[in-house]
Amino acid sequence: MKLQKALILARKELYTLSNSPAFYGVTLFFILFCSIWFFYIQRFFTMNLASFRSYFASFPIVFIVIIPMITMKSWAEERSLGSIELLLTLPFSEWDLVLGKFLSCLGVVAALLLLSLPVPLSILPLGDFDIGVIAGEYAGALLLGASASGLGLLLSSLSKNQAGAFLGSAAVLLVTMLINQFAISFDLPAFLADFCNFISLSFHFESFSKGIIDSRDLAFFIIITVLFLFLNTKVILFRKWR
């Protein structure tokens, strides 16, 4: 019953997003960025390697911009318009509201990943690609998008307007996506490098980008996503009783 309420809210949010011009701008930007990265920056056709690893390597980078664009309206717009008070009076629990918002954002991420399929499908006949590896890469991309969406929703609930939600989410995602590169670039002590790798979303995505489903990385994405959603419910509860 609780999931049914969340799905009703998710369907409403998806309908609103799909009728927004920003959704189509996000979709176009995602497809163009990943394609240009794969074919022109990484020069796939000169690699002589049957692998899409360089294609999926662009996902953590593009998610830094894409995810804040998807999540910034979720709570910040409700707050700026004053409609959050009305939303909180509806017969839905905090978890219903947060899950509904999250599932709608995850649905958009899943749609973007589906729309990216023509790139690998068009290349498959040109080489001996491992379908299982590609499936693992897409599974990792979905988990990465889920955790980034959970973080974006949390920051949106803490922001007063969409601009603040976008900038805050983009800044935090920039750090959490690329902090492992900082550990590589500088000669950090082992314990500090391990900490940077542990909190880095892109570091935990690396095994998936190789087609390897590591149970530790899988558990990390699930736990961190649930943690962000839990904190989001606490923020909403605070707004409700303030």
Q: Mind listing the pLDDT tens digit of every residue in the chain (242 residues)?
A: 567 778 888 888 888 777 777 788 888 999 999 888 888 887 777 777 777 888 888 899 999 999 998 888 877 777 766 666 677 777 778 888 889 889 999 999 999 999 998 888 888 888 778 788 888 889 999 999 999 999 999 998 888 888 888 899 999 999 998 888 877 777 777 778 888 888 889 888 888 887 788 889 999 999 999 999 999 988 887 766 55
**Per-residue model confidence (pLDDT) at position 124:** 83
Give how far Cα 229 sits from Cα of 122, 135, 178, 186, 233, Å: 37, 26, 22, 33, 6
pLDDT in tens, 219-235: 999 999 999 999 998 88
Which structural domain, as residue segments, surrounds residue 38? 2-241
Cα 139-107-230 angle, rounded to 5 deg: 85
Nearest to 52 by CA among 28, 25, 34: 34
In angstroms, rounded to a whole number, what is the distance separating the alpha carbons of residues 1 and 208? 34
Task: Check if the beta carbon of residue 178 is closer than 8 Å to that of residue 169.
Answer: no
One-letter identity of residue 175:
V
Task: Check if the beta carbon of residue 148 is closer than 8 Å to that of residue 70.
Answer: no
Task: Check if the beta carbon of residue 181 is closer than 8 Å to that of residue 157.
Answer: no
**Per-residue model confidence (pLDDT) at position 80:** 67
In angstroms, rounded to a whole number, what is the distance separating the alpha carbons of residues 120 and 113? 11
In angstroms, rounded to a whole number, what is the distance separating the alpha carbons of residues 94 and 208? 32
Q: Which residue reads 């909190």 in tokens?
A: 199
The number of distinct structural domains making up the chain is 1
